[in-house]
Structures are given as structure tokens and as C-alpha cells.
Amino acid sequence: MATRTIKISLIGNPNTGKTSVFNQLTGLNQQVGNYPGITVERKQGSVRLPGNTKGVILDLPGTYSLNASSMDENVVIELLLNRNDKDFPDVAVVVTDVENLKRNLLLFTQIKDLEIPAILVINMADRMERKGISLNIPLLEERLKTKIALVSSRKGTGITKLKELITEYASLSTEPCLNASSIDPEYFGRLRNAFPNQLLYKLWLVITQDVNFGQLERNEIEDSFTKSKSELKRLQQKETIKRYQFINDTLKQGMTVDTAKAKDLRAKLDRILTHKIFGYLIFFAILLVIFQSIFAWSSVPMDLIDEGFTWLSSYTSNNLPPGKLTELIAEGIIPGIGGVVIFIPQIAFLFFFISILEESGYMSRVVFLMDRIMKRFGLSGKSVVPLISGTACAIPAIMAARNIENWRERLITILVTPFTTCSARLPVYAILISLIIPQRTVWGIFNLQGLTLMLLYLLGFLGAIGAAIILNKILKTKFKSFFVAEMPNYKMPLAKNVGITVVEKTKAFVYGAGKIILAISIIIWFLGSHGPGDKMERAEQIITEQYGNSLGEDKLKDAIASYKLENSYIGHIGKSIEPAIRPLGYDWKIGIAIVTSFAAREVFVGTLATIYTIGSGADDEATIKERMKQETNPETGQKVFNFATGISLLLFYAFAMQCMSTLAVTKKETNSWKWPAIQLFSMSIFAYLVSLIAYQLLK
């Protein structure tokens, strides 16, 4: 049975409910990936259309116009200008919001100028009555030379009509709505004569921006048609005015708004949410709730996951035939996967909250509130989102910096985000604090250990701000600072949209970061269980000869394991870096834990657990703690984890760049190895110096 396939591109301004329309059309038939070479998300889905037809829908990134100002917007233009692209649409579905129709139509008229068949979706139709809006659809269809689907993606109405229109796309007019070239007839006339076979508007887009365009060499145009940047911008302004004239004329006839009905909830909410006192109070209250729930609610599933993987690991090693493969699975792969899976609850909760804040329109108000403060540090109001997300994990946080339009502010945000206290630091802080800070109540209400933890969080934010101040001084401005943030109307978040976001983002984290964490835990397992020479194989014999039967069986096992570790590759690495870390108050065993932590911080506790060989009680924190407490330096007889060493370690973990996955994401987002290298070295050197000073002062 032959089925026809229609290629559809979904295009629209941000905040028009484009993604909701996409979700309505495709349900869960979506694949999310990346465009080759860049980290812009590529969302594709399929839909069954009437008449045995299948639609493949590409949900293009939201864009205000065909003049790109970001990587995401560039994707849209490059696709629409290239008829040979495999994704080039048979039909463009342009989504607009009935309350912002005027502005949203600007993009629509541009797409019509490219002579691509286009359907106009007027979304949020369910709000028309409340807002006193009525539309003359036949007139609008005639003036805009298109077919219109009046849709409510919230209520799910109008989708059937939209599907019908898509099926009949061949009957759509491809005539432009207006003649944009009349803004400079002389110039466009020459352009037309020079390239009679090209679409005029296409040529204009190629001239005004940096897009790739097959067949036509940029140089070919540039020679005779170059204009200065400011001349071009003047023409673009004329073009925009021209388009708005047309749109205003059209809407004057096709749309009426009964202003008496349009009384605004927005104004009232804005007054409270951006109030100079309540605005900040509400913001901090919301932050508090988010942190509280991320840590409180996810602790139960995280414990379950932890126990589950520990059980699975011991079950595997007890039940599979002994050998290298079993060791690899039980000690390398399973804990490796567990190390990724354990973060799912926190990441999912975080995205749940962030997507609610964004969907409701509240996040834009936070951006508005915080911009002035952040600007002083070379950041943008939009940096707030990455800095908040960073408390769960820096990886999605760095990706969230993408909607900062100013490259310099975006770069600083990316570089400083890893300072915020991510969830991977938590287990390290927890065990060290319990070792060196007494469990005591101070000033009547505060728990000293809890206070220390709060101080460390604060230290993370201060680190980020401090680094931003320095970067702001060092980095030369090449880009003009600008900031334009749309303040969308408040909306009740849609459960379906929030759900899909949480699932997709969590999946992306697990697959993306998961691969790296898994690979590294396998490498560490290998280096920890193998060593140069034959000392590893003969460990049992050597230790038994040395101690004979004077030790009990358990202690003998412990001694063998620690001898093995000392002679493994990782043991050699630890010993060789000992001179460098001795001034910080660390011995070679802590050194190993630090080296392995460069893959991911949370490895610290696990590595120390292995090193101190606690045998069967390996996952019992109290026992690890006991062993750490008792550990003494054989030369001085002093405790290893004394106050000075503990503080030095806490500071080291607060500031050092110990996360491969974050470095990988920074590389992808900045498209250069330079910035992750700067992150790695400057943060780690800074951490070293701070820890050195702290230890030398306290010891």
C-alpha cells in the first residue's frame, strides 16, 4: 500500500504555543536529537493525516524573524533557503498567538516571500472570547493569501482542520503577501537583473546575514551589492516598517478587539511579581521551595536506586562465574550505570520546576528582576536560569545559557556555572563535614553542621560571581551588549508539555552524561585492579608471608586488598602526585580519590571506601566514617582527617573543576577546546591555592 509522505516544518515565534501544537499533532511520536555539529535540539515527529497520508513534522527552533541572531534561529533560515536540504518542507505551518497576532505575522509575511506554501495557525483561540477578540477569517485568508486553522492547543480544538489543510497543501497560494522590494526599487531592480533566476527575497537574506546558500557564492553577490552594515540595517528597518504597515492594514479589517473586555490579569500579577520588595521575596521563597524539594523529595528514590545497584552488584559477583568479565560487570559497569541513574530523581525534579516556571511566564519576570544585578558582573538577567539549574547539575545548566543573546554574557555564564554547588559535591561535603565539624547547636537554633553546608553553597555562588567579575575585566568586548527579553503573558502550565520536557531532558542527560561517566568508571576500575609487574598477582602470597596467621581472616583480606591498591596503576599515580598534595594536607590515598574525582566528584567517597577496604561493610557510611576517623599518618602518628585537612579538602571540592562531562558540554557549546581548558586549569589551580593557604594557616 503506497502511502504519501508530506514534509512539514513547524515555524513560529517563541511563546506562541508552537511546541504544544507539535505535541498535539504528534503525541509521543517524537525523536529528539541534535543538528549535526551543533547542540541545537532537533525535534521531529510523525502524524497520520487523512487520505492514507503520513506527515513528518520538524519542529524548528522558535524565531522572531528570518533575521537570525542566534545559533538556533540560524537553523531555520539555512533550512528555508536551501531547497536541496533533505528536510526542506513541502509545507510550512506557521504558528501564531491570537493575542500577539500583529507581531507574529511579521515572520509569516517573510516566509510567504520565500514562496513556500504556508498555512497560518492562529493558536490560543480559547482565549479570544475572554479577551474580546473576533476575527474575520475569510478576509484574513484572502489578504494573507493562505489558509487559516483556528487552533487551541490547550483544548485540542482545530487540530483536525489543521490536518486537513496540511493534506491539501498543494492548493495553497505561493504568492507573497506584499512587495517588500519597493523599499529601494533601484537597488532591488539591479539585484533582479543580476540574478534573474533567484528569488529576490532570498538574495536579500543572503546579503543581510551570514547564511550558507548553495549554488550561489556569497562573494558573487557581495562584490557589486555590498552596503555598509548601517545602510543594510536602515533598509531592514524600512522593510520591517513596510511589513507592519501591511499587517496593520490587514488586521484593521480582519480583527476587532473589544478593549472593554480585555482587562488584564497580567498587569496585576506583574505589579506583585516585579515589586521591589515582594518581587525578590517571592523569588527567594520559590527558590527555597525548589531546593527543599529537590533534596528532600529525591532522597528517597535516590536511596532506593543506591541500594538497588549495590544489591545488583553483589548479586552479580556472587552468582556469575568468577573471572575478569564478572569483575568488570560487578565493579565497573554496574556501579558506573548506578552513578548516572542516581541523579535521575534530582534532574527530573529540577526540570519539572524549571519547565513550570518557564511555561507559566514567571521565569521572564525573574530575568527582568535580576538583570541589573547580574549586569554588574558581566552576566545577564538570563544567567539566573543556568545558575539555579547548576545546583542540580552543571550540564543541563550550561545548555540553558543558550538563550542569552549576547555572546560575551553567555560565555561568562557558561564559564562560571560549574562553581555552583552541584548535587555531585553533596556526598563529599556530607562525609567530610560529619568528620570535622562537631554536631552542635549554635546561637540557639542553628545546627553547626547544617550551617557549614549552607556556607559551602554560598561559597559556590560567591565563586561564580567572583569568577564572573574577573572574566568581565579580562574579556574584551567584541559584541555590543544588548538585551531584549519578551515578557510573555501568564499561562497555566500544561501537564502534557511539562511531562514531555521532563522526560526528554532527563533522557538527554542520561544518554549524554551517562556514556562518559560509564566509560570513566570502567577505566578507573581497570587502573585500580591492574598494576605493573606481577605484584598484583602475588599480593596474596606476599601479605600472607609477611603477616603469617597473626591477623584474623578479615584483617588479612583487608591487608591484601590495600596492598593490591597500593601497587595498582592508580596506586602508582597516587604515590607519584603525593609530593604535590602533601602541602595541602593530603596523603597518597586521598590523592587517588582526588584523581578519580576528576571524572566525577561523587567518585570520592566510593574511592575512599575501596581504599580503606571495609570489606562487607563497604557501603555503610558509618563504617567508612569510622575508618576515615581512625586513619593515622604512619610518620607523624597524627590523624589524617583532622580539621585542617578536612577544611582544605572541602575548599578543594568547592572550587576545583572535577567533572569531565561539564568540560565536554562546555566544549560543545563554545565550539572550542580553549574554554574548557581555561575552566579546568584556572578553577583547579585556584582550588589548589585556596586549599594550600587554608591548610597552612590551620595546621
Partner 1 sequence: MKTTLAGLKKGQKAIITEFNIDAIPLKLLEMGCLPGNTVELLQVAPLGDPIYINVNDSHVAIRMETAAEIDVEIIRD
Interface ranges with partner 1 (CB under 8 A): 64-65, 67, 69, 100, 102-103, 106, 230, 233-234, 236-237, 240-241, 244, 266-267, 270-271, 274-276, 279-280, 364, 367-369, 371-373, 375, 381, 405, 481-489
Contacts of 206 (CB under 8 A, 6+ apart): 81, 213, 216, 218, 221
Q: How far is the CB of 275 from partner 1 (least distance, A)?
A: 8
Write out the three cell numbers for 399: 545548555
- Rounded to the nearest 5 degrees, what angle is found at the Cα of 127, between the Cα atoms of 122 and 133? 75
Residue 89: CB minimum distance to partner 1, A: 22
Distance, in Å, from the CA atom of 293 to the CA atom of 315, rounded to the nearest integer, reads 33
The closest alpha carbon to 286, from 356, 345, 230, belongs to 356
Distance CA 247, CA 570 (A): 69
User: What's the DSSP call for residue 329?
Assistant: I
- Closest separation between CB of residue 406 and partner 1, Å? 10
C-alpha cell at 239: 522593510
Q: Which three cell numbers stand for residue 549?
A: 596467621
Cβ nearer to partner 1, comparing 260 with 267: 267
DSSP bridge partners of 32: 43
Looking at the Cβ atoms of 446 and 482, the one nearer to partner 1 is: 482
In angstroms, give the least distance from the CB of 589 to partner 1. 50
Q: Considering the complex, state which of residue 409 and residue 619 has its C-beta at the smaller distance from partner 1.
A: 409
Residue 374's H or E segment, with its range, is: helix 362-375
> Residue-wise over 394-407: b if at least 16 C-beta within 10 A, else e?
bbbbbbbbbbbbbe
Q: Least distance from C-beta 583 to partner 1, angstroms? A: 44
Nearer to partner 1, 183 or 687 (CB): 183
Residue 434 CA to its chain's centroid (Å) = 32
Nearest approach, Cβ of residue 382 and partner 1 (Å) = 10
What's the closest the beta carbon of residue 484 comes to partner 1, in angstroms? 5
Q: Which amino acid is at 133?
A: I
- Between 242 and 639, name the residue whose CB sits nearer to partner 1: 242
- Nearer to partner 1 by Cβ, of 408 and 564: the residue is 408
To the nearest whole angstrom, how small is the minimum distance from the Cβ of residue 4 to partner 1? 36
Torsion angle in degrees (nearest 10) through CA of 118, 124, 125, 128: -130
CB 438 to partner 1: min, Å: 41
If the CB atoms of residues 368 and 598 are measured against partner 1, the closer one turns out to be: 368
Q: Show Cβ contacts of residue 164 under 8 Å, excluding neighbours closer than 6 positions.
A: 50
Q: Which residue has the cell 521563597?
A: 285
- What the block records as the C-alpha cell of 506 is 532527563
* For partner 1, the closer CB: 70 or 82: 70
The grid coordinates of residue 173 equal 497560494
Between 160 and 226, CB nearer to partner 1: 226
Please report, in angstroms and rounded to a whole number, the separation of the first and last CA atoms in the chain: 81
